[in-house]
Chain A
Amino acid sequence: QSALTQPRSVSGSPRQPVTISCTGTSSDVGFYDYVSWYQQHPGKAPKLMIYDVSKRPSEIPDRFSGSKSGNTASLTISGLQAEDEADYYCCSYAGSYTWIFGGGTKLTVL
């Protein structure tokens, strides 16, 4: 079972939007609405940003949003801020009580 496919890096300017994609298959991302996104700053534990494709934990700013179309999920950050610079990982339920992560995307705020 291969990891979900994410771009290795994306970048954007402050206050601009950026989208990170996460491509899986019809057996994971395309079949289940259990896609989550995690933010990880260097040397820190990951933090849940989005779950169930598009739901946000209460403490996460509403400039973070998630969506899905077919086998591809997306995380959009509208209005980039300097503190958003981090690694981002998607994760999908893959059936049979297993989970699969993406390879991670490094977000750089220019």
Chain B
Amino acid sequence: EVQLVESGGGLVQPGGSLRLSCAASGFTVSNNYMTWIRQAPGKGLEWVSTLYSSGNTYYADSVKGRFTISRDNSKNTLFLQMHSLRAEDTAVYYCARGNCSGSSCNPADYWGQGALVTVSS
């Protein structure tokens, strides 16, 4: 059974840093397309970043240069390192496994339960 469990959320001051973790089970992170998607309180979903199995990474313009997606193959875990946090980064951050192969692609077929990040002084 595919499971994704996020951790590391919390309250951080503007300009601060935080690292989210996403522990995966039931599949191998390094063999899959992994995504972070966030949802500000009462708002819609926003794609944040993708890590391909190849190791290539991509980011939304809103987080480029501040956030870094990575993985630890030995721990089968995905990370999102966030720096220079702003109030507008306040959101529930979801880790998701995507599925892109051949002529089929979607960024998130399995989702974690989410981790709340609050940026406030």
Interface residues of chain A, those whose CB is within 8 Å of chain B, are 1, 3, 33-34, 36, 38, 45-48, 51-52, 55, 57, 89, 91, 93, 96-104
Number of A-B contacts (CB under 8 A): 65
Contact call B106/A48, Cβ cutoff below 8 A? yes
Which A residues lie within 8 Å of B61 (CB)?
1
Contact call B112/A45, Cβ cutoff below 8 A? yes
Contact call A57/B60, Cβ cutoff below 8 A? no
Which B residues lie within 8 Å of A3 (CB)?
44
Which B residues lie within 8 Å of A47 (CB)?
111
Contact call A93/B105, Cβ cutoff below 8 A? yes
B105 interface neighbour in A52, A98, A100, Cβ under 8 Å: A52
Q: Which of B45, B61, B94, B110 has the most CB of A within 10 A?
A: B45
Cβ-based interface call for B1 (8 A) = no
Contact call B109/A102, Cβ cutoff below 8 A? no
Which A residues lie within 8 Å of B114 (CB)?
45
Contact call B107/A89, Cβ cutoff below 8 A? no
Q: How large is the interface on B (under 10, 10 to 19, 20 to 34, 35 or more residues)?
A: 20 to 34
Which B residues lie within 8 Å of A93 (CB)?
105
Contact call A91/B107, Cβ cutoff below 8 A? yes
How far, in Å, is B45 (CB) from chain A's closest CB? 4
Contacts known (A45-B94, A97-B50, A97-B58); A103 close to B107, Cβ less than 8 A: no
Closest partner residue, chain B, to A32 (CB atom): B105
Contact call A99/B112, Cβ cutoff below 8 A? no
When chains A and B are docked, how far (Å) is the Cα of A100 from the Cα of B114? 19
Q: B65-111: which residues lie under 8 A (CB-CB) from chain A?
A: 94, 99, 103-111
Which A residues lie within 8 Å of B110 (CB)?
48
Which A residues lie within 8 Å of B108 (CB)?
36, 38, 46, 48, 91
A52 interface neighbour in B60, B94, B104, B113, Cβ under 8 Å: B104
When chains A and B are docked, how far (Å) is the Cα of A101 from the Cα of B46? 6
When chains A and B are docked, how far (Å) is the Cα of A51 from the Cα of B99? 10
